[in-house]
Amino acid sequence: MSIEECDKLRSAASTGLPGHFAMVSWSITSMKNSILKLFLEQMAEDCKSLCTSTKGIASVLLVPRHKTKDLLDKFSWNNIIEELKKRVPTLLDVLTSVAVPLGRVATDHEVSALCTGYSVLMNQRWKELSLLQKTFERFSRMNITQTRAQHNNIIDDIGKDLVLAIKHSFSTKSRTL
């Protein structure tokens, strides 16, 4: 850091205002990079602690084979949100800042989106964290799907060129749209 940057930090620290000190720290590239590195390392460590089946407290997303039916029957978005709040609150803050406009409480739809995003990311990190994926598989086996109108909205949102890829995927599995 340069002498000028150190002086800026000393001046900001002398005000006794944490927000001002944080803003000045964030404006200095080397400080910003160091803070981000610490932030990401801590988040990675918090997420790593969820990837265990033998020591510590297992994630609500962990579905042991012998408990699959029971856990799927008790599925709740609230359990996932509570885990986020208690075990990875920083990740919840990040996901919420992306999905929910500032100054507004999350709607039910946004809560399910936050939980889905978290579940997909944690399943990517460790395949055993698969509660949500197994829930969707269960719905699929029961032939519970979205309506034609919902399907069309999804396709329109993603792009019409995807229709052929989806039809091909279904046709290779002996299904029709």
Q: How far apart are CA 44 and CA 80, in angstroms?
A: 18
Question: Quick one: 35 and 93 in the same domain?
Answer: no
User: Is pLDDT above 50 for 159?
Assistant: no
User: Is pLDDT above 90 for 24?
Assistant: yes
Q: How confident is the model at residue 125 (pLDDT cuts 50, 70, 90)?
A: confident
Question: Quick one: 54 and 140 in the same domain?
Answer: yes
Question: Quick one: 87 and 42 in the same domain?
Answer: no
Question: Quick one: 61 and 110 in the same domain?
Answer: yes
Question: Quick one: 45 and 91 in the same domain?
Answer: no
Look up the pTM and report it: 0.65
Question: Quick one: 57 and 138 in the same domain?
Answer: yes
Q: Please tell me the predicted confidence (pLDDT) of residue 129.
A: 77
Question: Quick one: 131 and 63 in the same domain?
Answer: yes
Question: Quick one: 165 and 124 in the same domain?
Answer: no
Question: Quick one: 99 and 130 in the same domain?
Answer: yes
User: Is pLDDT above 60 for 177?
Assistant: no
Q: Across all residues in the chain, what is the average pLDDT?
A: 77
Residue 85: both structure tokens together: 């709040």
Q: How confident is the model at residue 123 (pLDDT cuts 50, 70, 90)?
A: confident
Q: How confident is the model at residue 155 (pLDDT cuts 50, 70, 90)?
A: very low
DSSP string, the chain: --HHHHHHHHHHHHTT-HHHHHHHHHHSHHHHHHHHHHHHHHHHHHHHHTS-SSSSPPPTTB--GGGHHHHHHT--HHHHHHHHHHH-HHHHHHHHHHHS-TTSPPPHHHHHHHHHHHHHHHHHH-TTB-HHHHHHHHHHHTT----HHHHHHHHHHH-TTHHHHHHHHHHHTT---
Task: Please tell me the total count of domains within the chain.
Answer: 3
Using one digit for the tens of pLDDT, what is the confidence trace for 36-50? 999 999 999 988 888
Question: Quick one: 55 and 136 in the same domain?
Answer: yes
Question: Quick one: 155 and 83 in the same domain?
Answer: no
Task: Give residue 74's domain range.
Answer: 50-145
Question: Quick one: 90 and 127 in the same domain?
Answer: yes
Q: Please tell me the predicted confidence (pLDDT) of residue 135.
A: 66
Using one digit for the tens of pLDDT, what is the confidence trace for 87-120? 999 999 999 988 888 888 888 778 888 888 888 8
Q: Please tell me the predicted confidence (pLDDT) of residue 3.
A: 94
Q: What is the percent of the chain where pLDDT is above 70?
A: 65
Q: Which of 32-41, 145-154, 161-170 has the highest mean pLDDT?
A: 32-41
